[in-house]
Amino acid sequence: MTKEQLAIYAKEAMKQAYSPYSGYCVGAALLCKDGSVYTGCNIENAGYSATNCAERTAFFKAVSEGKREFSALAVCGGKEGTIWGIFPPCGVCRQVMREFCEDDFKIYLVKHDGIETYTLNQLLPVSFEPNILREEG
């Protein structure tokens, strides 16, 4: 699957955003190593801190369906669903990615006129990763 194809899934997912408070619509599409795709949107809540980001929605859907290996994520977002600039993942979402993804996991930030490509290592260097808890003394 190309990054452009994955971006189409993210744009479709953005249409499902539930964002009555911020007005920002965000979509994410997560490509599993087996070729399957899981999408997610942001889901806001009157208790603001209960809001779930689009990226975590996609990850939690996939993990809860048994997926553990991922190769790429496309993300797009914008006010009232209009994509302009990039919509980079928040720190909490980056940490969730870190739990399941390698340094070279690709993150495609979708703009109205193109796609910026990053790796997880670029967006979350020197991270707190699962291996740290597995190390002895």
- Cβ neighbours of residue 9 closer than 8 Å, sequence gap 6 or more: 27, 29, 37, 39, 74
- 55 annotated active-site: yes
CA distance 111 to 41: 17
Q: Check 12, 44, 55, 135 and give the catalytic one.
A: 55
Q: Which is nearer to ligand THU, 52 or 121 (CB)?
A: 52
User: Among residues 3 and 94, whose Cβ is nearest to ligand THU?
Assistant: 94
Nearest to 6 by CA among 69, 103, 76, 102: 76
Supply the minimum distance, in Å, between the C-beta of residue 29 and ligand THU.
Answer: 13
Residue in this structure with the two tokens 């070279």, named with its chain if needed: 104
User: What is the C-alpha to C-alpha distance for residues 134 and 81, in angstroms, rounded to an integer?
Assistant: 42
Smallest separation (angstroms) from ligand THU to the CB of 28: 7
Q: How far is the CB of 24 from ligand THU (least distance, A)?
A: 4
DSSP structure class, residue 121 = H
- Interaction site with ligand THU (CB under 6 A): 19, 22, 24, 26, 42, 44, 51, 53-55, 89-90, 93
Pick between residue 20 and residue 135 the one whose CB is nearest to ligand THU.
Answer: 20
Q: Give the residue numbers annotated as catalytic, written as ranges.
A: 55
